[in-house]
């Protein structure tokens, strides 16, 4: 098939949507499909299979956008029309401006379109401190819906997202398919590095951004009875790194910050004692699924705007998302009960095994695109 994948955001592999797009594009090419990627990534300009549009100039906000490691697309109708023309199906990653123009041109050509539901309104409004403003969030979902109502199929990475959208706008031709976990994430227990022996290692993975809830975790570690023995690893990158480091000054053991590629991340997961996912807003939480695949016992925020809470298999793996005291109690309980931790580690690994296999998920995505293209073929 000829498939056009439209990415309003594409650049550094530092966010879930970009990673999902890259994995899907690579898989479709491997399967022999002819893929055209429509995106604003200037580094791809001139490369075969890429149609590159300009990036938006947001004036005083350019620095903030750059610190987030993304570039926002500015539509160019000539480039969009050429990228879409002749495709059997168009897949839009996000219902933003570039995606919406691609939908318009695809419909003019009679080309079927699918779209992903990867971003919640709160992911947008959290950047301007309006994540709790219901009217603003509703307005953004209404903006998204104008695009989703025009497409032939919607990809929801979680049932949580499907229930959220269909609860507002009614039933859709939806496909619930995880973005998937790389096969390298599997249970492999390893010894801690010499510098970490004698310490409890607590891992949390996620971008350093407001919606990831790091402050609650930092305060919970400070209130834990094991605070003098906890080595917190905050794996990731993002614009709030310096602010988080300032928050951590009160901790007796300074956390380890930094981004880890897949191979390193598997090693860190293999010797950690607990995984904490404190996000306030989360559409899927692949980093949490990676931890579960490795058999690491999680403690997950119960935020009503997080899909990840559905991954908890025991109430001991959930904490009230606004309460560092509750999180500290859960951390202390798991550290006090190593036998239960070992048993639940096996339970989590067995429950996750195969469910989120990335290749199987990409095969389901391919099938969705085939079925959507079949509306015309």
pLDDT class of 72 with cuts at 50, 70, 90: confident
Residue 15 has pLDDT above 80, yes or no: no
Residue 272 has pLDDT above 50, yes or no: yes
- What is the model's pTM? 0.91
Interhelix angle for 134-148 vs 97-109, to 10°?
30
Q: How far apart are CA 231 and CA 256, in angstroms?
A: 8
Phi then psi dihedrals of residue 53, to 5 deg: -105, 165
Residues 6+ apart with CB under 8 A from 226: 200, 331, 332, 335
**Average pLDDT over all residues of the chain:** 93
pLDDT digits (tens, 9 = 90+) for 310-351: 999 999 999 999 999 999 999 999 999 999 999 999 999 999
pLDDT class of 60 with cuts at 50, 70, 90: very low
Are 329 and 146 in contact, with CB atoms under 8 Å apart? no
Both tokens assigned to 193: 């590095």
Whole-number pLDDT of residue 10? 73
pLDDT class of 51 with cuts at 50, 70, 90: very high
Q: How far apart are CA 280 and CA 213, in angstroms?
A: 6
The backbone region for 75, taken as left when phi is positive above 0, alpha when psi lies in -120 to 50, beta otherwise, is: beta
Q: How far apart are CA 35 and CA 21, in angstroms?
A: 12
Whole-number pLDDT of residue 18? 85
Q: Which residue has the higher pLDDT, 252 or 46?
A: 252
Are 92 and 116 in contact, with CB atoms under 8 Å apart? yes
Burial of 315 (0-12, 13-18, 19+ CB in 10 A): exposed
Whole-number pLDDT of residue 56? 75
Whole-number pLDDT of residue 49? 94
Whole-number pLDDT of residue 230? 98
Residue 58 has pLDDT above 60, yes or no: no
Angle at 156 between CA 41 and CA 96, to 5 degrees: 40
pLDDT digits (tens, 9 = 90+) for 154-167: 999 999 999 999 99
Q: Among 33-37, 114-118, 132-136, 337-341, whose mean pLDDT is lowest?
A: 132-136
Q: Where are the domains of the chain?
A: 2-180+357-373, 194-352
CA distances 257 to 85, 228, 237, 262, Å, are: 45, 18, 8, 16
Q: Which CATH architecture has domain 2-180+357-373?
A: 3-Layer(aba) Sandwich (3.40)
Q: Which residue has the higher pLDDT, 125 or 222?
A: 222
pLDDT digits (tens, 9 = 90+) for 218-240: 999 999 999 999 999 999 999 99
Check: CATH 3.40.50.2000 for 194-352?
Answer: yes
Residues 6+ apart with CB under 8 A from 263: 184
């Amino acid at each position: 098939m000829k498939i056009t994948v439209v990415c309003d955001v594409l650049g550094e592999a530092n966010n879930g949507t970009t990673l999902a797009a890259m994995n899907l594009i690579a898989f479709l090419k491997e399967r022999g499909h002819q893929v055209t990627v429509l995106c604003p990534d200037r580094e791809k300009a001139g490369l075969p299979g890429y149609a590159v549009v300009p990036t938006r100039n947001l004036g005083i906000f350019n620095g903030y956008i750059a610190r987030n490691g993304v570039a926002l697309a500015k539509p160019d109708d000539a480039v969009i029309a050429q990228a879409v023309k002749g495709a059997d199906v168009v897949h839009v990653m996000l219902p933003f401006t570039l995606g919406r123009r691609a939908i318009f041109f695809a419909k003019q050509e009679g080309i079927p379109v699918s779209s992903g539901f990867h971003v919640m309104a709160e992911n947008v409004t959290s950047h301007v401190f309006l994540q709790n403003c219901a009217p603003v969030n509703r307005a953004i979902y209404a903006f998204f819906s104008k695009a989703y109502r025009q497409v032939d199929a919607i990809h929801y990475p979680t049932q949580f997202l499907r229930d959220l959208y269909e609860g507002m706008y009614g039933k859709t031709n939806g496909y619930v398919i995880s973005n998937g976990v790389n096969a390298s994430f599997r249970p492999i227990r390893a010894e801690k590095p010499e510098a970490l022996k004698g310490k409890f290692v607590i891992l949390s993975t996620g971008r350093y951004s407001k919606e990831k809830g790091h402050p609650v975790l930092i305060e919970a570690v400070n209130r834990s009875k094991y605070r003098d023995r906890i080595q917190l690893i905050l794996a990731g990158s993002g614009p709030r790194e310096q602010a988080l480091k300032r928050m951590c000054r009160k901790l007796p053991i300074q956390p380890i910050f930094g981004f880890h590629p897949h191979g390193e991340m598997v090693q860190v997961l293999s010797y950690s004692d607990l995984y904490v996912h404190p996000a306030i807003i989360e559409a899927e939480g692949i980093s949490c699924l990676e931890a579960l695949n490795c058999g690491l016992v999680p403690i997950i925020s119960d935020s009503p705007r997080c899909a990840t809470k559905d991954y908890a298999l025991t109430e001991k793996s959930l904490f009230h998302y606004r309460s560092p005291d509750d999180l500290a109690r859960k951390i202390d309980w798991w550290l006090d009960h190593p036998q239960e931790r070992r048993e639940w580690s096996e339970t989590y690994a067995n429950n996750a095994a195969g469910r989120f296999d990335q290749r199987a998920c990409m095969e389901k995505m391919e099938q969705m695109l085939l079925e959507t293209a079949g509306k015309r073929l």
